[in-house]
């Protein structure tokens, strides 16, 4: 199938909806809803538009969803106004991201609920779908179905079901994706692409919802990954980014501790990717400081196609807070790691920081500030702590006031702006 490179997957600017649907017919985890009662239109929705929120993983997931729908005869359109099916691929990492999505969906209040191909269908997809499950229908009556990140292969069925019934659809709780979903034949850009190498996360950082919504960590088979890369290169892709919540813990499913000879670890995978003919460069994200090793830095330095850039989230400079975050390293260990990286690779470095984690005192905050002054990252993404229900940190009192979080956030942002200027 030809690669469709031009159509956008985001940029929703619509106003509102009407029409209430019943909440009956939702399914158990891992199952797809299909309670068929006649609905007004009998024509298949033909066009779709995906609005993507959140991280690179979601950007790639939207491409996978689009590729699958295109292969089933749907047409992608450039604006939500032209779409028969509107999909919101969502992020639940912070409350702010969720609020933006709910307000975007709320814009559909006054939009006519019918299109030339029948009723407008709205799907909530990705992390928010998995996080809220059935509860999403209570939050927004405009949603026809919810679909978790590991269930995205079910989207065509959910659309078909929504077309035929007034009942709501739900597909959540699948542990692993079907490999076929990665054969998308669809990229948003002509020369670069993201490649998912691991799904889910086993780290359970205490503040983070990702292991709850994306499930435990699974690595894709290295041969499947290499095949996907080669296919993309044959279509003109020159640069790739290998994606995972913790890429360093990648291990190909054929590799076990009992057969170390055939072990394909992350470093082995990087070597294989480096050999792909026609590929010009690659990078990867995200690395966890507890797993980013000297061996990794040596491989980065040695492999000629590996972009010399590392994203290594520190989250806090205070050992007490790092422990509460369940990060499994100390600030000193992180700094030693950075020294190694600088010695061996001597290249760009970025990080993530959370301010206002429960019990973060002025002293804890100053330790983070000091670390930022010392390391001088090329880039730092700074976030205000946001309580996520069902995480371990949610059992702690969110006791740093919003005002204080904003103050600490601004101090670090200003400092980082200065650092970024120095590094340019
Ligand atoms: N509150 C604030 N920031 C968070 N992150 C993850 N969970 C939360 C949360 N509950 C940040 C971390 C992570 C980045 C992707 O998002 O810094 O590295
Ligand atoms: Fe969340 Fe920690 Fe996993 Fe990153 S490593 S996705 S912050 S649990």
- As for ligand 1, residues whose beta carbon falls within 6 Å of it are 93-94, 207-208, 313, 315, 352, 354, 383, 385-386, 388
User: How many angstroms separate the CA atoms of 329 and 340, rounded?
Assistant: 16
Asked if the domains 189-297 and 308-424 are classified in one and the same CATH topology, the answer is: yes
Ligand 2, atom 5, residue with closest C-alpha: 203
Under CATH, which number does the domain 308-424 receive? Answer: 3.30.750.200
Protein residue whose Cα sits closest to atom 2 of ligand 1: 385
Q: Which atom of ligand 1 is nearest to the CA of 393?
A: 10
Q: What is the dihedral angle through the alpha carbons of 338, 312, 300, 221, rounded to the nearest 10 degrees?
A: 140
* Length in residues, the chain: 424
396 Cα to the center of ligand 1, angstroms = 16
Query: Per-residue DSSP letters for 392-409?
Result: SGGGS---S-HHHHHHHH
Cα-to-centroid distance, 316 and ligand 1 (Å): 11
DSSP 65-122: HHHHHHHTT-EE-SSGGG-SEEEEEE--SSHHHHHHHHHHHHTBTTS-SEETTEE-EE
pTM of the model: 0.88
Cβ burial of 325 (10 Å; 0-12, 13-18, 19+) is buried
Per-residue pLDDT of the chain (424 residues; tens, 9 = 90+): 334 444 445 433 333 333 334 333 333 333 333 333 334 444 555 899 999 999 999 999 999 999 999 999 999 999 888 889 999 999 999 999 999 999 998 887 656 666 666 678 999 999 999 999 999 999 988 899 999 999 999 999 999 999 888 889 999 999 889 899 998 788 888 899 999 999 999 999 999 999 999 999 999 999 999 999 999 999 999 999 999 999 999 999 975 555 555 789 999 999 999 999 999 999 999 999 999 999 999 999 999 999 999 999 999 999 999 999 999 999 999 999 999 999 999 999 999 999 999 999 999 999 999 999 999 999 999 999 999 999 999 999 999 999 999 999 999 999 999 998 776 6
Distance CA 50, CA 84 (A): 11
Q: Whose CA is nearest to atom 2 of ligand 2?
A: 205
Ligand located closest to 326 CA: 2
DSSP category for residue 325: T
19: left (phi over 0), alpha (psi -120 to 50) or beta: left
Distance 326 CA to ligand 2 centre (A): 10
CA 183, distance to chain mean position in Å, is 18
Q: Compute the distance from residue 200 Cα to the ligand 2 centre, in Å.
A: 9
Determine whether domain 189-297 maps to CATH 3.30.750.210.
yes
CATH number of the 1-182 domain: 3.40.50.12160
For 30: left if phi > 0, alpha if psi spans -120 to 50, otherwise beta; the answer is left
The ranges assigned to domains in the chain are 1-182, 189-297, 308-424
Ligand 1: atom nearest CA of 209 is: 7
Using DSSP, state whether 40 is helix, strand or coil. coil
């Amino acid at each position: 199938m030809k690669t469709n490179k031009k159509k956008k997957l985001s940029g929703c600017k619509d106003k509102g909806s009407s029409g209430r649907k019943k909440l009956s017919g939702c399914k158990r985890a891992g199952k797809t809803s299909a309670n068929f009662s006649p609905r007004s239109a009998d024509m298949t929705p033909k066009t779709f538009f995906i609005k993507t929120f959140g991280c690179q993983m979601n950007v790639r997931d939207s491409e996978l969803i689009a590729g699958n729908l295109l292969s089933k005869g749907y047409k992608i359109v450039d604006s939500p106004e032209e779409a028969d099916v509107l999909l919101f691929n969502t992020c639940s990492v912070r409350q702010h991201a969720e609020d933006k999505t709910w307000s975007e969906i709320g814009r559909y209040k006054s939009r006519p609920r019918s299109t030339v191909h029948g009723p407008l269908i709205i799907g909530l997809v990705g992390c928010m779908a998995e996080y809220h499950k059935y509860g999403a229908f209570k939050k927004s009556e405009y949603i026809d179905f919810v679909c978790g990140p590991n269930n995205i292969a079910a989207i065509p069925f959910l659309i078909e079901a929504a077309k035929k019934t007034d009942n709501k659809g739900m597909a959540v709780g699948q542990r692993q994706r079907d490999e076929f979903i990665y054969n998308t034949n669809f990229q948003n850009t002509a020369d670069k692409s993201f490649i998912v190498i691991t799904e889910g996360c086993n780290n359970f950082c205490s503040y983070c919802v990702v292991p709850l919504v994306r499930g435990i960590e699974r690595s894709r088979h290295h041969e499947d990954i290499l095949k996907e890369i080669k296919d993309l290169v044959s279509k003109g892709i020159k640069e790739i980014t290998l994606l995972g919540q913790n890429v360093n813990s990648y291990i190909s499913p054929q590799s076990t501790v009992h057969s170390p000879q055939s072990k394909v670890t992350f470093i082995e995978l990087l070597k294989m990717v480096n050999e792909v003919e026609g590929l010009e460069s690659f990078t990867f994200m995200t690395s966890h400081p507890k797993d980013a090793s000297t061996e990794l830095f040596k491989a980065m330095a040695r492999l000629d196609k590996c972009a010399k850039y590392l994203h290594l989230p520190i989250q806090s400079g205070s050992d007490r807070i790092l422990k509460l975050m369940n990060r499994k390293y100390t600030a000193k260990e992180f700094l030693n790691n950075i020294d190694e990286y600088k010695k061996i690779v001597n290249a760009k470095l970025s990080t993530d920081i959370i301010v206002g984690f429960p019990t973060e005192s002025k002293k804890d905050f100053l330790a983070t500030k000091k670390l930022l002054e010392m390391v001088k990252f090329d880039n730092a993404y700074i976030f205000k702590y946001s309580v996520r229900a069902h995480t371990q940190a949610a059992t702690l009192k969110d006791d740093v006031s919003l005002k204080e979080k904003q103050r600490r956030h601004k101090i670090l942002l200003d400092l980082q702006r200065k650092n970024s200027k120095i590094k340019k």
